[in-house]
Amino acid sequence: MRTLSMTLLLAALLSGCSETPGGSKPPSEEPLPSGSPVPTGPPNVPEFQPAFPGQTRAPAIQTKMALQVTELASGFRNPWAIAFLPDQRMLVTEKPTGSLYLVTPQGAKSPAVAGLPPVDGRGQGGLLDVEVGPDYAQSGLIYWTYYEPRQGGNGLAVARAKLVEGAQPRVEGVQVIFRMMPTLASTLHAGGRLVFTPDGKLFVTLGERSVLEGRVQARDVRSHFGKVVRINPDGTVPRDNPFVNTEGARPEIWSVGHRNILAAALDGQQRLWTVEMGPRGGDELNRPEMGKDYGWPTIGYGEEYSGAPIHQSPQGPGMEQPVYYWDPVMSPSGMTIYTGDLFPEWRDNVFIGGLSSQALVRLMMRNDRVVGEERLLTDLRARIREVVQGPEGALYLLTDDTNGRLLKLTPR
């Protein structure tokens, strides 16, 4: 009865909706999913109840189309990110080694690109995201994030350089355009996703470094820890950022109060969506808005890995609620909002790589709310680190393993 009542409440809440996160109108006759959620086990913090119907444990849904998984390449050591070049070749990063490769659509892999700066590859560090610059056809610029070794510790950095192709590809003219500050001795929680916007800005997601010294800075605008930042492609600060006139604040900050964001994408309305790692319980889907506070570590839906409490309440004044949360966690990494034609039933759905859940997580959206959830590719028994949409509408995935694989998902 509890599931049924939540479904009816959600239907009432969404009855007047007209748009999905992708910006298109859903068929008015299409009923909302109903029924039991994806089986995940009991919550770690059952006393924390959702703030609104449908905020967690949405009804399970099932893709109708048969799927085909094709392995394009393997042998990557814990790969982290994929970016497509204009000719449909891919850039693929290898986290602990700091190596970057070019991969053809058929899976042929280049030698490691020369000229990248050294990385701190311990723990969750290394070479992380990579993106092709919006003006790549003219500039040849690519952008990447990495744990930068520093005196006294490390920190996430964003660099850009011109990609020079050939038998031995290389980058030249490396510029570090952003450095997470302050420096801290931690191998955890630096975030690292890059998202370009159509107006020429660049979002960078940042974690709070996990250790207590970093965690307590997640809501402090004097620190980059636990933030989404917004910069220009040359690293300068947009004049309309929310904290540019706040004394002592880091002017790059867009939003605050995040734990560790490893998934980010724009929807069809060009709005930023993110998925961040919770502790034991409390992974979150958010739509970070300018200047808003998402509450970590003051509020949340999880607990310490030891089982000790973190939050007195999952809600608090002046702090935003997640659009959706998971307890138990699915361990998100990598994200895309589908806009292609190969999978019509997936249009405007959110896809997230699942690490501990060993799944590709699909979310059906309606009016900025999750109305259905599916766990795909669980038979692979693989940690999904990255998911991107290819130029032809296929989904491309990376598995997180010492023999990581590049996979292509198409209709069968």
φ/ψ of 344, rounded to 5, equals -55, -35
Q: What is the pLDDT of residue 235?
A: 98
Instruction: Tell me what pLDDT residue 18 has.
Output: 41
What pLDDT score does 29 carry? 53
Q: Which two tokens stand for residue 387?
A: 């998911």
Is the preceding peptide bond at 297 cis, omega within 30 degrees of 0? yes
Structure token pair of residue 405: 């694989």
Q: What is the DSSP string of 351-374?
A: EEEETTTTEEEEEEEETTEEEEEE
Contact 249, 222 (CB under 8 A): yes
Report yes or no: 82 and 91 within 8 Å, Cβ to Cβ.
yes
Residue found under tokens 């859903």:
26
Contacts of 57 by beta carbon, 8 Å cutoff, 6+ apart: 37, 38, 40, 373
Residue range 62-86, pLDDT digits in tens: 999 999 999 999 999 999 999 999 9
Mean per-residue pLDDT over the chain, rounded: 94
pLDDT in tens, 225-258: 999 999 999 999 999 999 999 999 999 999 999 9
pLDDT of residue 198: 97
Q: What is the pLDDT of residues 318-370, one digit of tens each?
A: 999 999 999 999 999 999 999 999 999 999 999 999 999 999 999 999 999 99
311 catalytically annotated: no
Q: DSSP for 255-288? A: EB--S-EEEEEE-TT--EEEEE--SBS-EEEE--
CA angle centred on 302, ends 300 and 306, rounded to 5°: 135
Cβ atoms of 204 and 224 closer than 8 Å:
no
pLDDT of residue 355: 98
Tokens in use for 31? 């009923």
The list of the chain residues with pLDDT below 50 reads 1-20, 22, 24-28
| Residue 87, helix vs strand vs coil | coil
Q: What is the per-residue pLDDT for 406?
A: 98
**CA torsion through residues 295, 202, 26, 262, sign:** negative
Ramachandran assignment for 240, one of left (phi > 0), alpha (psi -120 to 50 degrees), beta (any other)? alpha
Within 175-266, residue ranges assigned H as helices are 212-215
Q: Would you say the C-alpha torsion 366, 372, 378, 384 has a positive or negative sign? A: positive
User: What is the pLDDT, as a whole number, of residue 30?
Assistant: 74
**pLDDT (0 to 100) of residue 27:** 44
Task: Label the pairing between strands 202-205 and 228-231.
Answer: antiparallel
* Tokens 């310490």 sit on residue: 304
Q: Which of 189, 224, 258, 311 is catalytic?
A: 189
